[in-house]
Copies of this chain bind each other. A is one copy, B any other.
Amino acid sequence: AIAARATEFFMEQQEKDAPLRGKKILVTAGPTREGLDPVRFFSNLSTGKMGYAIAEQAARLGADVTLISGPVQLDAPPNVTIVRVVSALEMRAAVLRDYQNVDAVIQSAAVADYRPEEAHAQKIKKQDGPLLVRLVRNPDILKELGLKKEKQILIGFAAETENLEANAKRKLETKHLDLLVANLAADGFATDTNKVTFYFANGRYEPHQRLPKHEVASRICAALAALFEESECQ
Q: A36 vs B45: C-alpha distance in the bound complex, in angstroms?
A: 11
Q: A2 contacts the other chain (Cβ, under 8 Å)?
A: no
Q: A166 vs B153: C-alpha distance in the bound complex, in angstroms?
A: 57
Contact of A126 among B45, B128, B131, B137 (CB under 8 A): B137
Q: A117 contacts the other chain (Cβ, under 8 Å)?
A: yes
Asked whether, in the complex, the Cβ of A43 is within 8 Å of the Cβ of B45, the reply is no
Q: A162 vs B120: C-alpha distance in the bound complex, in angstroms?
A: 13
Closest Cβ neighbor of A35 among chain B residues? B45
Asked whether, in the complex, the Cβ of B41 is within 8 Å of the Cβ of A44, the reply is yes
Nearest CB on B from A187, distance (A): 12
Asked whether, in the complex, the Cβ of B135 is within 8 Å of the Cβ of A185, the reply is no
Asked whether, in the complex, the Cβ of B39 is within 8 Å of the Cβ of A42, the reply is no
The 0/1 profile, CB within 8 Å of B marked 1, for residues 149-177 of chain A is: 00000000001111000000000000000
A-B contact pairs, 13 of them (CB 8 A): A39-B44, A39-B110, A39-B185, A41-B43, A114-B126, A117-B130, A122-B162, A123-B160, A123-B161, A128-B137, A129-B137, A130-B134, A130-B135
